[in-house]
Amino acid sequence: KNQVEQSPQSLIILEGKNCTLQCNYTVSPFSNLRWYKQDTGRGPVSLTIMTFSENTKSNGRYTATLDADTKQSSLHITASQLSDSASYICVVSPTGSTLTFGKGTMLLVSP
Amino acid sequence: EPEVTQTPSHQVTQMGQEVILRCVPISNHLYFYWYRQILGQKVEFLVSFYNNEISEKSEIFDDQFSVERPDGSNFTLKIRSTKLEDSAMYFCASSGFSGSRNEQFFGPGTRLTVL
């Protein structure tokens, strides 16, 4: 069964600090992996999209990595801001169009 | 910046009633999707739609569900006879391309509450 597991489930960090979120997946076949940010009560917003041939992708203070051999990905957030408080969701696409979502990591950035 | 819009933002209905959730995708997009998120759980794929046909659907998308693009701008999800377990946030998404780089843009969601 296609699964996407994320850790930690939740995380609290101080404003200005860095953090790294983890994602392991068993989705097969594999087309691409995405990281989304979801504010409470809102729709997910895409941060990065990586195919199996890409190892890293950056979007501002967000850097995603992908190891397709071990089926692991990480999202690194640098110099966190209060507005980074949200759920960060790892999403794997087996076909290129349908998406399999993880449960997300709830990040709280504290002043 | 173009965005996906959804109406209503919150829908309350009685069990057994029909509901229609409405979405206006980004205007030049060709691929449309519905997802749902039960409170506290992960987002789940329901259905994808292209060229006036369902492209893919999940096990969740049973005979109680249907989708339609009635007028070239709206994209609707109909639930014929709602059940308590249909209570969830329903997200519409659209994309301009298919395949490995299709970025899906999500709407703000409709919160459906079935009493």
Q: What is the pLDDT of residue B102?
A: 77
Q: Which helix (H) or strand (E) holds A50?
A: strand A45-51
**Smallest Cα–Cα separation from A104: which of A8, A26, A15?**
A8
A41, A51, A98 ranked by CB distance to B56: nearest: A98
**Smallest Cα–Cα separation from B25: which of B50, B56, B43, B57?**
B50
Amino acid at site A88: Y
Taking residues A46-59, what's their average pLDDT?
A: 92
**Cβ separation of A97 and B106 shorter than 8 Å?**
no
Decide: helix, strand or coil at residue A81.
coil
**B25 and chain A in contact, CB less than 8 A:** no
Question: What are B55-99's pLDDT values in tens digits?
Answer: 999 999 999 999 999 887 899 999 999 999 999 999 999 998 776
Top pLDDT among A95 and B6 is at B6
**Cβ separation of B93 and A43 shorter than 8 Å?**
yes
**Cβ separation of B42 and A49 shorter than 8 Å?**
no
Q: What is the pLDDT of residue A96?
A: 61
Decide: helix, strand or coil at residue A83.
helix
Asked if residues A68 and A19 have their Cβ atoms less than 8 Å apart, the reply is no
What value does the mean pLDDT of chain B take?
92
**Smallest Cα–Cα separation from A107: which of A70, A68, A61, A71?**
A61
Q: Kindly state the tokens that stand for A54.
A: 């890409």
**CA nearest A40 in B: which residue?**
B108
**B51 and chain A in contact, CB less than 8 A:** no
**B39 and chain A in contact, CB less than 8 A:** no
Asked if residues B76 and B25 have their Cβ atoms less than 8 Å apart, the reply is no
Asked if residues B49 and B69 have their Cβ atoms less than 8 Å apart, the reply is yes
Taking residues B21-39, what's their average pLDDT?
A: 94
What value does the mean pLDDT of chain A take?
92
A44, A95, A104 ranked by CB distance to B106: nearest: A44
SS3 per residue for chain B = CCCCEEECCEEEECCCCCEEEEEECCCCCCEEEEEEECCCCCEEEEEEEECCEEEEECCCCCCCEEEECCCCCCEEEEECCCCHHHCEEEEEEEECCCCCCCCCEECCCEEEEEC
Top pLDDT among A73 and A3 is at A73
Give the integer Cα–Cα distance in Å for B112 and B8. 9
**B5 and chain A in contact, CB less than 8 A:** no
> Residue A98: is its pLDDT beyond 90?
no
Taking residues A104-110, what's their average pLDDT?
A: 96
Question: What are A6-41's pLDDT values in tens digits?
Answer: 999 999 999 999 999 999 999 877 888 999 999 988
**Cβ separation of B43 and A96 shorter than 8 Å?**
no
**Cβ separation of A101 and B44 shorter than 8 Å?**
yes
